[in-house]
Amino acid sequence: MSYPPVRYGAAEPSLSARHVPADAPADLVTATAQIRYLAGARHGDAELGVFRYSMGERRSGPDPHFHRTMSESFFVLTGTVRIFDGRTWVDCAPGDFVHVPPGGVHGFRNESGAPADMLILFAPGAPREGYFEELAEISASGRQLDDAEWLELYARHDQYPA
């Protein structure tokens, strides 16, 4: 196995590191989660999307689905997150990691009744910020989508129900 092709060809290194303090406020607050955009499209990074997804005590998270253009990985920081691995729901504890390649069926939810916190990583980076924000707007407004509207929204964001 070899390294990927060179993607940075300038003679001098770039001063482009970005620090996000642990106590940085959430970029998006919904009824069931707080999401911090650590790396991704909003920061000009198409290589990797990293989001800190903090769930409250209420049941939350998406049903089983898959993506065609990206992998998705989960690293549990605190609490218990149930992650669907394509076959069964697995209770994941702090330090547990789950990787789902493109096309892999997965889902996650917090059903513990206690807060839970995890990192979600997308590779390559995709504009998931827009997806999260669109879902939050729909929920906050009380707007009701029919099945065709949901399927269209999901398809725009590379999310396909399983």
In a domain, 128, yes or no: yes
Q: List the CATH number of the domain containing 65.
A: 2.60.120.10
In a domain, 127, yes or no: yes
In a domain, 13, yes or no: no
In a domain, 102, yes or no: yes
| Number of structural domains the chain divides into | 1
pLDDT tens string, the chain, 162 residues long: the values are: 899 889 889 999 998 888 999 999 999 999 899 999 999 888 877 789 999 999 999 888 899 999 999 999 999 999 999 999 999 999 999 999 999 999 999 999 999 999 999 999 999 988 899 999 999 999 999 999 999 999 999 999 999 999
In a domain, 81, yes or no: yes
In a domain, 56, yes or no: yes
Cα(11)–Cα(6) distance, integer angstroms: 12
Residue 103: the pLDDT is 98
In a domain, 101, yes or no: yes
Per-residue DSSP letters for 37-95? EEESGGGT-SS-EEEEEEE-SS-B-PPSEE-SS-EEEEEEEES-EEEE-SSSEEEE-TT
Number of residues assigned to the chain: 162
In a domain, 7, yes or no: no
Q: The pTM is what?
A: 0.92
Containing structural domain, residue 46: 28-161
